[in-house]
Amino acid sequence: MSDWHLYLVRTDAGALYTGISTDVDKRFETHQLGLGSKYLRGNQPAKLVYRCQIGDRSLTSKVEYRVKQLDKPAKENIVRSAPSREQLLDIVDLCD
C-alpha cells in the first residue's frame, strides 16, 4: 500500500478544500504560500482540519472524488468525527 493521503483544509472564509498528497504537511505549506491549487490561491487556507492515509493513488483519487461530491454538512461531519480509513471508505461507499 502506498502512502497517499486525503486531506481537508478550512479556508479563512470557512470553506472546505479537499486534496490528496503523499506529503500532507509539505502540500499544506505550499497552499499557504499561495502555490498549488488555483482554488486556494484566492481563498487563503487557514487550517488543516483532517487527514487520512488511504493507500495507492488510484483509490485515494476515487475517495477524493467522492468526498468532493458530498455536501458541506457531510464534509463537516468528516471533520468532526475524524473517521478512520475504513470508516471513510464506508462513508464514500468504497469499502474494500
Which domains are seen in the chain, by residue range? 4-91 (3.40.1440)
Q: Residue 1: its pLDDT value, please?
A: 53
Mean pLDDT of the chain: 91
Residue 42 confidence class, pLDDT cut points 50, 70, 90: confident
- The answer, as to whether pTM is greater than 0.75, is yes
Residues whose CB is less than 8 angstroms from the CB of residue 7 and which lie 6 or more positions away in sequence, other chains included: 18, 19, 20, 21, 24, 27, 28, 48, 50, 51, 52
> 38 or 16, which is more confident?
16
User: Among positive and negative, which fits the CA dihedral 61, 8, 85, 74?
Assistant: negative
Q: Residue 6: its pLDDT value, please?
A: 98
